[in-house]
């Protein structure tokens, strides 16, 4: 699997966490154990492991983080947006994830 990060998260560890967490969720197609987190997946579910994940933007503010990007499986390119809600502003624990996928 080819991973292409945004390159914009070097000065913010919280933004970098959002980017890496988004990659992890997309790579696992939401199937990994979420350790008590609530995952809401809206739209299409991947049938196979992605060939490529490209993160375009990853941001955070307070208790919310968000990222968007593209997931390629074969010749199909999906658009993805992820909203991450943290339990606190330090982003030490994720409480909920909303993932939107379409192509």
Summarised one tens digit per residue, pLDDT across range 79-94 is 999 999 998 877 778 8
* 47/90 Cα distance (integer angstroms): 35
What is the pLDDT, as a whole number, of residue 92?
A: 78
pLDDT average, residue stretch 56-70: 95
pLDDT surpasses 90 at 10 = no
What confidence tens digit (pLDDT) does each residue in 42-51 have?
998 888 899 9
CATH 3.10.450.50 for domain 2-102, yes or no, is: yes
**Domain positions in the chain:** 2-102
pLDDT surpasses 60 at 33 = no
Under a CB-based contact definition with an 8 Å cutoff, are residues 58 and 8 in contact? yes
CA atoms within 13 A on the CB side of 78: 26
């Amino acid at each position: 699997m080819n991973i292409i990060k945004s390159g914009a998260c070097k000065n913010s560890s919280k933004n970098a966490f959002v980017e890496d967490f988004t990659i992890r969720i997309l790579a696992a197609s939401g199937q990994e154990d979420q350790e008590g987190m609530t995952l809401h997946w809206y739209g299409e579910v991947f049938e196979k492991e992605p060939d490529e994940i490209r993160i375009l933007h990853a941001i955070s503010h307070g208790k919310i983080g968000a990222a968007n990007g593209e997931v390629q499986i074969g010749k199909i390119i999906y658009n993805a947006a992820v909203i991450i809600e943290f339990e606190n502003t330090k982003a030490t624990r994720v409480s909920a994830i909303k993932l939107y996928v379409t192509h």
